[in-house]
Structure formats: C-alpha cells, structure tokens
C-alpha cells in the first residue's frame, strides 16, 4: 500500500467513525452534518473514487443564459477580489443554485492544474456530486461555510481550502454561490469577510440591473455610511411602492425578509413621501438628508434619485466563452496623461495597477472619494493624476497638497484660503485656498493621516456641505471637486489610536486601493526605462549588468529612490551607457545572506549558490525557507510535504518552480 492510498483510507475511516458515533462539535457542525448527508442521503462513500461530472455544452449555455444578469454583475467584482487575494494558486468561482460553475477567475496555470478535478466552468459541485465542499455545502446549508482540506468528503479534494457565501437576488432568494478555492493556507475567516463584502456588491449591482426604471433610495443611520457598502438600498416604483431591498436595508428597518417590505409604500417606512425625498435630495446636491422611521423615533439619513438613464444601467450582454481570467492589454497610463510634465513614471503594466485603474475609472464618474494606500514613494500622486485625467473633472485643475510637508499653522490657510489681513503675515490681497483652486477639478490630499484633528472636522464639513469658508470671512463658496486622498500609514490604525476621525475615514474611503511597492511590480523593467528616459534623456542606455542590479534591488524608497539613483547614474555616466560602477549606492548595499549550509548534505551546499534565474524578494525568501526545511528533514520530500501539510505533488511543483533539484532517493 503506497502513501496516497494509506492517506485515502485513513481519511475515509475518520469520516465513517465520526458520523457513526454521532459525535457533534459545534465548531465543525456544518461539516459533520454534510458528511452525514453524503453518507445517508446521497449514498456516497469517501473511499470510493468518483470522477468529476460536467455539464454538457448545451446545458451549460442554458444555465449561463438563465443567470446572465448575475454573471454580468459578478464578473468585475470577482476579478477585483482575485486581484486583492494576489494568490496565483487560487480561483474565484461562481456557481448557479445547482452547484454548476458558470464563471471562474484564476491564473491559466492553476486553472489547467485543477480543471481535471472538476474546478472549471461547467463542473458540478453540489454535495450529491462532489461530497462536502465549499460550493455545494454552502447551497445545502444556505449560508457561509469554510471547508478546509481534510473537511472535504472525498480525498481527491483535500489539497484545497474553500470558503463560500450565498449571493441573493432582489427577491431575497439565493441566486448563486461565490467561492474561493485555493491550495494556499489562506485564513478562512478573513476570506469569508472579503467574500461577504463582494457578495453584497454583486447584490447591489443586481438591484440596479433588474430595477433600472425604479427610483434608487440610499439610507443609513450614520450619514458617512451612505453611498458605502454598508448602506441600505431600496428600489422604489413611480407610485412610491417598494420593489426591492438589499440585506442592509432589511436589517436597519427591522424586517426579516423582502416579502415583508415589498409593495409597502415609502410612507409606511419613513415619515416622508417619495417626491418629498427626491426634492430634498436634489436641493442638498444629493447629500444625505434627515428622515425618521415611520411610527418610531429612529433617525436615518437618506438620498433618493430619479431612475438611472439607460446608459448607467448595468447591461446584460452576450457572455464570452467560459474560461479563466482573460488576458488584457495594459494601458500606459490613462487617456490625457501623455505629454504632461511629471517627475515620475506614468507606466502602468502591472496587473494589480491595471485593475485598480479600471476600478478608479468606474467609481470616479460617480464622484466617489478614493483613498490610495502604499509605501512612501510608490507613485500615489502619479496614479492620482492618471485617475484625474480619466474623470469628468479632467477639464479642471489637479491640485495636490502634501499634509505632511506643511506646518500645522499653515495647513488651514492653505486648504481654506483667507481674506486680506486675516492674520499677521497674510498676503495683502488674500489668497484662494487649495479647495477653491480645485473647484471643477480634483483635490489630492497626500499623507492625509498627518492632518491635525481640528482640521479634520472642518474638512469633513466641507465634504458634507460642499461649501468652503475662507479664514477671516463669513462668505461661503460652493465647490465641486473630486477628492483623492493618500497615505502610507494605516488610517484604521490611526482611528483606533484616536488620532484620526472615524467619520472622516469613512468619508474618504469611498473605495480604498492599495498600490504595490516597486519591488512587487511585474512591470519594473518598463518603470525603470521610463524613469531613465525622464531623468537621463531619451538616448541614455543601460548596460545589461546594471539593469539586472536595478531589477533585483528591493527599492525601500520605491520610485522616488529609483529616480534619484538614475539621475545620479546618468550624471556619472556622462553620456555613456550606465554600468554597475555608476550605481554606487546600490553596489555598496549589503549583499543578501546566503542560506545556511549543512556540511553533511551535498545537495544543500550546491543549492546555497545563487540561483541561475531571477527571483523577486518574496520568492527568494520562500526558496530559502524551502531549502532550510529540506536540510532539516535530510532532503526527505515526504517528510517535508507532511511538515507543510501539502501533497508531494504540490511540493514537487514548488521545487521545480524554484529550480531546486532533488536527486537522491528517499
């Protein structure tokens, strides 16, 4: 009996013993109940191999057609979630209510490896077909589930960890299941939160798609949460009757199901009428207005609008053929950026940046505030300029304010402006503040975390009222601008420390985008060449060895550091090709430590030499950790696989990926 057969038998024995004993652990209740269904209801056996089942082409086309609007609303959100996970050995999956996969986003390599096991479009993953698994068990339990490796009913799926949540349609019925299946040891609880958020975004899109001719009404008990993922959302007919509601709306109104709210009128829920709500919302420039729960003292902040135009309604189009994540051409910045004077690069070919640009372009049209996070020097202002150029405010000014570089005494006057003689040292003619300068354009607040608390309150008021009052005057000026903020610090952490207002954070983070550091960008070569053309001139060349050094450097200062290094190198080269000796700060940096050797292990000594291929920083750390673990277990692959809790095949793929040769027998 080989090891794989022994593992399968042990897995089956464990399931049979637990189900027959009737053992119940609240922590694993969903899994043990699923095992019981598989054995007693579906007549499956964990030791008997079942080949994956797939829908026929005709059947799959019919299923996708029935769920076309759900797929259309989910496609973008699934791609965004996949980019957030940044895990090449994972897939974001959407199934219909029978557990048949109707859309999937993954890397082509991972899709090719797991496709034969049924994890591809058309695969059937109900419990009756595939036993206990994330998608099928989510449908059976009608709620979120996490199925870790050995929780699966069949041994062939124990290499995967799965988390899944239901997606509800506007009638309150389950329309689909959203799942992440991965070979990595991702934190299931964290994944369930991300999946829940993504499911709610899909549900809100679905309301817009199915009720495009209805009046959308947004509300929450806290004004800063209107227009966010946490808002209650209603679709209201012309006669004031409720047609649909999201889960947040039901929760805030104390209702258990959509049936309890459907066909009620606005007046039954709030102390107002639809027409009054629309008129007041229009007068406030569609900022939340106060209303009260009918026959109660609960206060809400709400916005109502006329039906969306056909151009803004999510259109259900013919879907392309099933497959994995499609290849996309990467734009070099956004339209309008070419020719602008900038001291950094506007090259965006990294998939995460491309996805973030697509996200920004979608939300910018609705004046959603954008918060950019990333290390110092990672190009947040360049990214913000690109977003501005793609926005409806592109014709206006792009006004940047670095909150960290201004003294606290000047930030207020810089932002809000002042009249002549407002304070000692003021200009005789007064000054328009940055907010007024950004009227009709974009205001970019860099290092927003460093803004003093008292000014945060004033900024919040400006964002709520869209009016600004310069210092030393009582005159108010209406302003209309797109807000983009940025910080290298964690604003949630600053909120917990009491150093940043929570309500302002929610107002700034309409959507939060994390920009990758230079060392993690896949387009490093293009960035280096673009910066070199700016700092050294179009004819400046890089010797191959110098380019290799630049590509492998970790760049703690990111693009800002790269710019300074190349500017110095171009000056030292004096018209010639830049060589390693022209990069003194990089050549003098400490060389990375080599992995420790085991004197008795010959393979370890050979592998201690630098690999004959290029690795990024994360890959280098992972390779070194694998080498150390192999040495610790005397290069016994089975023992290492057991220590990592992965299959030997998975470990061999890792070893091959990192060019680690295992030549001696176990």
pLDDT digits (tens, 9 = 90+) for 611-639: 445 555 455 656 766 776 776 666 777 77
Nearest to 400 by CA among 364, 445, 431, 367: 445
pLDDT recorded at residue 266: 92
Within-domain flag for 512:
yes
Mean pLDDT of the chain: 79
* Residue 118 to residue 215: CA distance in whole angstroms: 42
Locate all alpha helices (DSSP H) within 497-594, ordered by sequence: 502-508, 524-536, 544-552, 558-573, 584-587
Q: Are residues 460 and 570 in the same domain?
A: no
Mean pLDDT of 282-311: 81
Residue 525, Cβ density class (10 Å: 0-12 exposed, 13-18 middle, ≥19 buried): middle
* Residue 109 to residue 130: CA distance in whole angstroms: 23
* Residue 614 to residue 658: CA distance in whole angstroms: 10
Within-domain flag for 442:
yes
Report how many domains make up the chain. 5
Q: Are residues 380 and 505 in the same domain?
A: yes
Identify the CATH number of the domain in which residue 231 sits: 3.30.450
At 421, is the pLDDT very low, low, confident or very high (cuts 50, 70, 90)? very low
* Residue 86 to residue 182: CA distance in whole angstroms: 11
Within-domain flag for 268:
yes
CA atoms within 13 A on the CB side of 488: 15
Q: Which of 66-75, 145-154, 170-179, 563-572 has the lowest mean pLDDT?
A: 563-572
CA atoms within 13 A on the CB side of 348: 27
Within-domain flag for 215:
yes
Coil vs helix vs strand at 645: coil
CA distances from 486 to 363, 379, 393, 599 (A): 16, 10, 19, 50
Q: Are residues 408 and 461 in the same domain?
A: yes
Q: Are residues 526 and 483 in the same domain?
A: no
Q: Are residues 448 and 430 in the same domain?
A: yes
* Residue 500 to residue 336: CA distance in whole angstroms: 35
Contact, 169 vs 70, CB < 8 A?
A: yes
602 pLDDT above the threshold of 50:
no
Of 183, 203, 238, which marks where a domain is finished? 183
The two most distant CA atoms of the chain are separated, in Å, by 92
pLDDT digits (tens, 9 = 90+) for 574-595: 778 898 988 877 876 534 433 3
Task: Identify the DSSP state of 38.
Answer: I
Nearest to 383 by CA among 507, 510, 485, 480: 485
Contact, 406 vs 416, CB < 8 A?
A: no
Mean pLDDT of 38-64: 89
Mean pLDDT of 67-85: 86
Mean pLDDT of 516-520: 91
**Quick count: other Cβ atoms within 10 Å of Cβ 613?**
8
Q: Are residues 231 and 296 in the same domain?
A: yes
Nearest to 454 by CA among 484, 499, 424, 487: 499
Contact, 127 vs 151, CB < 8 A?
A: no
Percent of residues, the chain, with pLDDT higher than 70: 79
pLDDT recorded at residue 362: 83
pLDDT recorded at residue 163: 92
Of 532, 562, 587, which marks where a domain is finished? 587
pTM (two decimals): 0.50
192 pLDDT above the threshold of 50:
yes
Within-domain flag for 226:
yes
* Residue 475 to residue 651: CA distance in whole angstroms: 69
At 119, is the pLDDT very low, low, confident or very high (cuts 50, 70, 90)? very high
Q: Are residues 217 and 305 in the same domain?
A: yes
- Element holding 299 (H helix, E strand): strand 299-304
Within-domain flag for 146:
yes
- Element holding 93 (H helix, E strand): strand 90-95
Q: Are residues 362 and 484 in the same domain?
A: yes
Within-domain flag for 289:
yes
447 pLDDT above the threshold of 50:
yes
Identify the CATH number of the domain in which residue 109 sits: 3.30.450.40
Identify the CATH number of the domain in which residue 570 sits: 1.10.8.60
Helices (H) and strands (E) in the chain, counts: 26, 19
* Residue 374 to residue 637: CA distance in whole angstroms: 38
What is the CA angle 530-381-348, rounded to 5?
40
Nearest to 434 by CA among 448, 460, 416: 416
DSSP string, 507-519: HH-SEEEEPPPGG
Residue 533, token pair as written in the block: 């053309």
List of residues 6+ apart from 555 with CB closer than 8 A: 517, 518, 519, 561, 562
Task: Identify the DSSP state of 116.
Answer: G
pLDDT digits (tens, 9 = 90+) for 453-480: 878 888 888 888 888 888 767 778 888 9
Task: Print the domain residue range for 84.
Answer: 74-183
Contact, 94 vs 121, CB < 8 A?
A: no
Q: Are residues 286 and 372 in the same domain?
A: no
Mean pLDDT of 565-571: 84
Residue 50, token pair as written in the block: 């079942």
- Element holding 83 (H helix, E strand): helix 68-85
Of 311, 335, 361, which marks where a domain is finished? 311
Residue 309, Cβ density class (10 Å: 0-12 exposed, 13-18 middle, ≥19 buried): exposed
- Element holding 467 (H helix, E strand): strand 467-468
Q: Are residues 135 and 242 in the same domain?
A: no
Q: Are residues 486 and 358 in the same domain?
A: yes
Mean pLDDT of 123-138: 93
Within-domain flag for 66:
no
Q: Are residues 458 and 544 in the same domain?
A: no
Identify the CATH number of the domain in which residue 621 sits: 1.10.10
The more confidently predicted of residues 287 and 308 is 287
Q: Which of 35-44, 250-259, 565-574, 589-598 has the lowest mean pLDDT?
A: 589-598
Contact, 195 vs 80, CB < 8 A?
A: no
At 324, is the pLDDT very low, low, confident or very high (cuts 50, 70, 90)? very low
């Amino acid at each position: 009996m080989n090891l794989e057969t022994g593992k399968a038998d042990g897995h089956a024995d464990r399931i049979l013993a637990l189900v027959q004993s009737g053992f119940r652990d609240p922590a694993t209740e969903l899994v043990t109940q699923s095992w019981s269904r598989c054995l007693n209801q579906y007549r499956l056996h964990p030791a008997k191999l079942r080949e994956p089942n797939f829908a026929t082409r005709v059947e799959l086309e019919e299923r996708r057609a029935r769920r076309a609007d759900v797929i259309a609303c989910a496609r973008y959100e699934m791609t965004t979630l996949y980019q957030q996970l940044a895990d090449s050995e994972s897939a974001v999956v959407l199934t219909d209510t029978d557990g048949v996969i109707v859309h999937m986003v993954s890397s082509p390599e991972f899709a090719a490896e797991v496709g034969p096991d049924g994890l591809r479009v058309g695969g059937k993953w109900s419990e009756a077909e595939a036993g206990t698994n994330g998608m099928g068990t989510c449908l059976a339990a009608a709620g979120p589930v996490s199925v870790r490796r050995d929780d699966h009913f069949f041994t062939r799926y124990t290499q995967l960890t799965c988390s899944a949540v239901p997606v509800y349609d506007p009638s309150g019925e389950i329309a689909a299941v959203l799942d992440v299946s991965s070979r990595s040891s991702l934190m299931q609880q964290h994944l369930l939160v991300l999946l829940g958020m993504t499911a709610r975004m899909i549900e809100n899109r679905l309301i817009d798609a199915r009720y495009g001719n209805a009046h959308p009404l947004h509300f929450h008990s806290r004004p800063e949460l209107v227009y966010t993922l946490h808002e209650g959302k209603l679709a209201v007919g012309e006669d004031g009757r409720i047609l649909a509601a999201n889960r947040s709306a039901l929760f805030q109104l104390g209702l258990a199901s959509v049936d309890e709210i459907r066909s009620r009128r606005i007046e039954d829920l709030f102390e107002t009428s639809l027409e009054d709500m629309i008129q007041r919302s229009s007068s406030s420039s569609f900022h939340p207005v106060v209303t009260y729960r009918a026959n109660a003292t609960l206060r809400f902040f709400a916005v109502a609008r006329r039906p969306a135009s056909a151009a803004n309604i999510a259109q259900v189009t013919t879907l392309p053929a099933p497959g994995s994540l499609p290849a996309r051409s990467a734009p070099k910045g956004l339209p309008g950026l070419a020719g602008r004077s900038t001291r950094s690069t506007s090259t965006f070919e990294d998939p995460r940046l491309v996805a973030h640009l697509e996200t920004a372009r979608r939300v910018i049209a609705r004046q959603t505030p954008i918060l950019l996070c990333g290390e110092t020097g990672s190009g947040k202002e360049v990214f913000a300029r690109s977003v501005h150029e793609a926005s409806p405010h592109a014709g206006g000014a792009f006004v940047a304010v670095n909150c960290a570089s201004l003294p606290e005494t000047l930030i207020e006057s810089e932002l809000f402006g002042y009249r002549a003689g407002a304070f000692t040292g003021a200009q005789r003619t007064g000054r328009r503040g940055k907010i007024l300068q950004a009227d009709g354009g974009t205001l970019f607040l860099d290092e927003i975390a460093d803004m003093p608390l008292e000014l945060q309150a004033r900024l919040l008021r400006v964002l709520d009222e869209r009016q600004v009052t310069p210092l030393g005057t009582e005159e108010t000026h209406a302003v209309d601008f797109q807000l983009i903020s940025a910080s290298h610090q964690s604003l949630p952490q600053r909120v917990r420390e009491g150093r940043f207002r929570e309500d302002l954070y929610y107002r700034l983070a309409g959507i939060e985008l994390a920009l990758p550091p230079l060392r993690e960008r896949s387009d490093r070569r293009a960035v280096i060449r673009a910066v070199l053309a700016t700092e050294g001139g179009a004819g400046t060349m890089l010797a191959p060895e110098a380019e290799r050094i630049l590509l492998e450097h970790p760049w703690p200062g990111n693009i800002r550091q790269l710019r300074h290094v190349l500017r110095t190198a171009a000056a030292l080269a004096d018209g010639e090709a830049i060589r390693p000796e022209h990069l003194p700060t990089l050549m003098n940096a400490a060389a990375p430590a080599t992995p420790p050797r085991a004197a008795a292990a010959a393979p370890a000594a050979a592998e201690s030499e630098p690999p004959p291929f290029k690795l990024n920083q994360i890959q280098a750390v992972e390779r070194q950790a694998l080498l150390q673990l192999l040495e610790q277990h005397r290069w016994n692959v089975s023992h290492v696989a057991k220590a990592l809790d992965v299959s030997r095949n998975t470990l061999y793929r890792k070893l091959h990926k990192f060019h680690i040769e295992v030549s001696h027998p176990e």
